[in-house]
Amino acid sequence: MSVRTEGKDAGSGGDTLGRDAKTPVLQVEHLVKHFPVRKGVFGRRVGEVHAVSDVSFEVFKGQTLGLVGESGCGKSTTGRTVMRLLEPTSGVVRLQGQEITAATNPRDLARDMAFVFQDPFASLNPRLTAAKNVTEPLRIQGAGDAAQRRARALELFAHVGLREDQLDRLPSEFSGGQRQRIGIARALALSPKVVILDEPVSALDVSVQAQVLNLLKRLQAETDVAFLFISHDLSVVRHLCDRVAVMYLGKIVEIGDRAQVYDRPLHPYTQALLSAVPVPVPGARRNRIVLQGDLPSPVNPPKGCRFRTRCPKAQAICAEKEPELASRTGAQLVACHFADDDRSMV
């Protein structure tokens, strides 16, 4: 079964203006992913890790949705489940309106959606030359002969700022930043509609990180590809993303346009998160909201609101009723009973 719509570039009716925010290329609805917790010699199932619990979002054509949160919030699992590297427990993922199911041929899926991994030292096949790594997607699709694939590799290399004489080198001969360029080139090899990027710049030094971020911006402007950008770095997300979803313990607690979320965060967790990031301005003492305690176990997430155990605003109702992700005072969606009480930091 193919998830491809007719004509690769006719997705939005030949819209040449590009940024058509009305076209969700990727829709994720009520996505759930649980991992069994096994114990003992016989692998008895003693519980479940609620890694992703009822997550819904859309990614629009030519735009970037940032998925942010701290470690263990389920952002990476979400990305991998959307890409079908993990089988979802339940929920629906639609790519260009077509539902992806267990019956979907992974090869068809790979034509429209690609993945960029975090570790530039581990995500390339060390035995293949850069050119062959970049054109693996074409080989798997059976597209083109060797000469055509090489031509495409050259094209992609130019696209991501690598030189022709580097085509036949092995990954080990490249620096981290260059390897990440190769990883990005590989993701773009089939001109996909959506690219999921899982912490693509986290392993890079800042000077190189900026190069890759600029590259991603340029590539998006040129190809109108949609990005799902998974990151723990709030500054990077602010720089790159059009919309932002904040995750906590397997759930999206706030989602909205970048300006809304960063300038007027409504969820207490978003507020705390933003206030915790050190800013490179000496003496910029801000009203820091210091969260108490640690992340609760995702095996037994708190009843009601999952954030309530660390929330400075928690009330009795938070333990009883789980807040819905809904529009409250601002334009963004927030999952908090007291989101109206705007105490955003300045």
Site for other proteins in 251-280 (CB under 8 A): 262, 272-280
* Contact pick of 15, 29, 54, 119 for other proteins (by CB under 8 A): 119
Residue 266 and residue 334 in contact, taking contact as beta carbons nearer than 8 Å:
yes
* Contact pick of 27, 141, 166, 344 for other proteins (by CB under 8 A): 141
Question: In this complex, which beta carbon is closest to other proteins, that of residue 61 or of residue 132?
Answer: 132
* Contact pick of 83, 197, 252, 334 for other proteins (by CB under 8 A): 83
Answer yes or no whether residue 32 interacts with other proteins by CB under 8 A. no
Stretch of residues binding other proteins (CB under 8 A), selected from 20-28, 133-141, 301-309, 320-328: 133-141
Of 256, 252, 262, which is closest to residue 335 (Cα–Cα)?
252
Question: In this complex, which beta carbon is closest to other proteins, that of residue 123 or of residue 220?
Answer: 123
* Number of CB atoms found within 10 A of residue 287's CB: 10
Q: Enumerate the β-bridge partners of residue 32.
A: 90
* Contact pick of 32, 37, 92, 128 for other proteins (by CB under 8 A): 128
Binding to other proteins (CB under 8 A): which residues in 153-172? Answer: 167-168, 170-172
Sequence-separated contacts (24+) of 39-47 with Cβ below 8 Å: 47/299, 47/300
Question: In this complex, which beta carbon is closest to other proteins, that of residue 91 or of residue 296?
Answer: 296
Question: In this complex, which beta carbon is closest to other proteins, that of residue 272 or of residue 314?
Answer: 272
C-alpha 13, offset from chain centre: 27
Residue count, binding to other proteins (CB under 8 A): 82
Q: Enumerate the β-bridge partners of residue 333.
A: 255, 327
Q: What share of the chain is helix, strand, coil (3-state, %, to 5)?
A: 30, 25, 45
Cβ at position 284, least distance to other proteins in Å: 7
Exposure string of 312-346, with b = 16+ CB inside 10 Å and e = fewer, is: ebbeeebeeebbebeebebebbbbbbbbeeeebee
Cβ at position 80, least distance to other proteins in Å: 8
Binding to other proteins (CB under 8 A): which residues in 273-332? Answer: 273-284, 288, 290-291, 293-295
Question: In this complex, which beta carbon is closest to other proteins, that of residue 5 or of residue 141?
Answer: 141
Q: Give the pairing type, strands 194-198 and 113-116.
A: parallel
Q: Where are the alpha helices (DSSP H) in 224-324?
A: 234-240, 258-263, 268-276, 316-320
- Strands (DSSP E) along the chain, which ranges? 24-39, 44-60, 64-68, 90-95, 98-100, 113-116, 194-198, 226-231, 243-248, 251-257, 326-327, 333-334
Residue 82 and residue 93 in contact, taking contact as beta carbons nearer than 8 Å:
yes
Q: Among positive and negative, which fits the CA dihedral 245, 247, 250, 253?
A: negative
Binding to other proteins (CB under 8 A): which residues in 179-238? Answer: 183, 186, 205-211, 213-214, 232-236, 238
Question: In this complex, which beta carbon is closest to other proteins, that of residue 178 or of residue 220?
Answer: 178
Stretch of residues binding other proteins (CB under 8 A), selected from 21-29, 38-46, 120-128, 333-341: 120-128
Stretch of residues binding other proteins (CB under 8 A), selected from 22-30, 87-95, 136-144, 300-308: 136-144
Question: In this complex, which beta carbon is closest to other proteins, that of residue 54 or of residue 70?
Answer: 70
Stretch of residues binding other proteins (CB under 8 A), selected from 36-44, 174-182, 222-230, 326-334: 174-182
